[in-house]
Structure 1
């Protein structure tokens, strides 16, 4: 019998590549299976990328989806040691809030989202939090 290898914890999958200019400009281009970030700050999240959407005690709303996608991709780059969390985490958190506000999120909610990621999400950018693969059947 053959088995599958997968990672759990995801609930959304990108159906088209999404590209955005961001404030993070790494010294060298970063290319992973699903995320590319060049030295000019051009971020591409490729079709098929999976993410868990908005985290914490919140609702998954349309004003939160784009921000959560970009934020999760940037935190993944930190977990995989492509970006330094000490340098890039606060910038990623501010990008999240900017995108949420651009997409119509109420200022008060955006402020609470920012405080939530600032004070309670450091583990998600830590390389020790890299999701291990699971094999089924075991």
Structure 2
């Protein structure tokens, strides 16, 4: 009997239990709608229920004041990786992360370090690429 392989992607820790929307300062040239992410030309970002993301990246703690920012940041970076928005929006996406973390109670100095980390080390995460698909067994 031949065993049918599954195909999957790794790297996700969290899955959104209900939809979320926020106004961001990223303005695409056309309306974008994927299965899980919608971004209007006016900067309204909608992330649909079921969206999966890896939470805060790097040597950090997944604290409550980091989760919403990491969600929005990851969604914007995913749009960049998919070529749906220009990488010129990367700095603004990084600023959105910092802003949201501060709104959620993160100390400003920690939020600044978070911003510096994504500015200095996050470029490869925004670059257009094809996510590797794994197989098992």
TM-score scaled by structure 2? 0.95
Instruction: Identify which of 20, 27, 30 aligns with 2:29.
Output: 27
Shift in Å, 1:78: 0.3
C-alpha distance in structure 2 between counterparts of 1:61 and 1:131, whole Å:
27
Shift in Å, 1:2: 2.3
SS of alignment partner, residue 127 of structure 1: coil
Alpha-carbon RMSD across the aligned residues, in angstroms, is 0.9
C-alpha distance in structure 1 between counterparts of 2:6 and 2:21, whole Å:
31
Deviations 1:115-135 (A, max 9, x none): 00001110000013x321112
SS of alignment partner, residue 10 of structure 2: coil
Question: Aligned residues, how many?
Answer: 135
Structure 2: unaligned runs, 5 residues or longer:
none
Structure 1: unaligned runs, 5 residues or longer:
none
Q: Which residue of 2 aligns with 1:91?
A: 92
